[in-house]
Amino acid sequence: MLKFYVESDARLRQLRQCPAGMYMDGLADWLHSAGYKRRPGQLVLRGAAHLAQWTSARGGPIDRIDEGVLQAFADHLGTCVCPSPFRGRHRYHRDGAQRLVAHLQRVGVVPPSTAAPETVSLLVMRFSQWMRQHRGVTASTLANYVPLVKEFLAAHGDEAATYDAAQVRAFILARASRHGHSRAKSTVNAIRMFLRFLAVSGQCSPDLVAAVPRIADWKLSSLPRYISADDINRLVAACDPATGVGARDRAVILLLARLGLRAGDVRDLRLGDLDWSRGRFRVMGKGRYETWSTEAIFILILIFLDSRDVGGSDLAELVRGRRAAGTVADDGEDLDGNPSDECANLGLSVGEPSHSCCRAGAW
């Protein structure tokens, strides 16, 4: 079932050539039997490969991975700068590592863990069940909420009848002062939903839900979601296409405006990401999801890469050869002229960026 989760032949080779490669097909089979959809399964496989390569780089064999190694790997994620293609710092790397170890234990490669399982209170279990059944939340949402609820219970006990507004507000404000705006909002949402669950089940007063404070948020206090078409045109017009830097900058701006790519997505583009036979290119989007796009912006990527990875003559030869094969059209080769006309010639629209490319892809 590995091909169910990984479409790219290059990624398949990387997975099967990693130190745990012989177990990846079995892990993928288990993920599929457990009901993992394509994207969650891809993330687990990526985290598993990351653990295997990190362990191997430290000189440790796969069959010696234990709870101590998992904890060391979790500590490493915060500052990961691995040369591995599976590197990353997102929490799904830890989840993938845990799934790999669990699979290795099932097949007898790693001995079963002797650590005592974490005890989960009955109240937390009921809250999780209620959230899944009545609120339809995903596993990732619960993974954010449950630790906060556990922390609240550790601070104030599980006798919900004794909770009061002062306790609720003090807990939230104390956590909000230690974290950023986004994490503070997560705390508010988690505690509000927990109190709502308690109120629905008759364990506390419904009025206590109203005691949860709101995190202050002001309009125009953050960056705008997008800039206007006129502003984009002015940015494009400021680039000099007669120079390598100007051509690169123009291509970058149009990539950002047309596809909604992030700065890191554009920065990481390489010639190897171009699929000439199918007339498409690969973008590693948020979370390192592999996305294939067939947009008419193909030539802009070539110009951008020309200023970084290959010489002009090499690029010209590539374009001539692919045009003869019918995989690169003449449209869009000339980037001189008015920015609006340029966008129209390439099939581009300016204004609010489309993030469909970032959302639609997988691995």
* Phi, psi angles (nearest 5°) of residue 160: -60, -25
pLDDT of residue 342: 41
Percentage of the chain beyond pLDDT 70 is: 75
Q: How far apart are CA 308 and CA 58, in angstroms?
A: 33
Quickly count: other Cβ atoms within 10 Å of residue 345's Cβ.
16
Is the predicted pLDDT of residue 290 greater than 60, yes or no?
yes
Q: How far apart are CA 191 and CA 160, in angstroms?
A: 13
Average pLDDT for residues 205-226, to the nearest whole number? Answer: 80
Amino acid at 344: A
> What is this structure's pTM?
0.41
pLDDT of residue 312: 42
pLDDT of residue 49: 92
Decide if 281 contacts 273 (C-beta within 8 A): yes
Q: Which helix (H) or strand (E) holds 275?
A: strand 274-275
Instruction: Look at 155-159, 195-199, 307-311 and tell me which has the smallest mean pLDDT.
Output: 307-311
Average pLDDT for residues 188-195, to the nearest whole number? Answer: 93
94-113 pLDDT per residue, tens = 888 989 998 998 888 888 87
What is the secondary structure of 239-274 as a DSSP string?
A: S-TTSHHHHHHHHHHHHHHHH---HHHHHT--GGGE
Q: Which of 355, 164, 142, 340 is nearest to 260 (CA)?
A: 355
301-358 pLDDT per residue, tens = 555 555 544 444 444 444 444 444 444 444 333 333 443 444 444 444 433 433 433 3
Please give the structure tokens belonging to residue 320: 């001539």
Decide if 45 contacts 15 (C-beta within 8 A): yes
Q: Which residue has the tokens 């202050």?
A: 216
Decide if 121 contacts 194 (C-beta within 8 A): no
Domains of the chain and CATH, by start? 2-106 (no CATH), 122-211 (1.10.150), 229-360 (no CATH)
Amino acid at 226: Y
Q: How far apart are CA 222 and CA 225, in angstroms?
A: 9
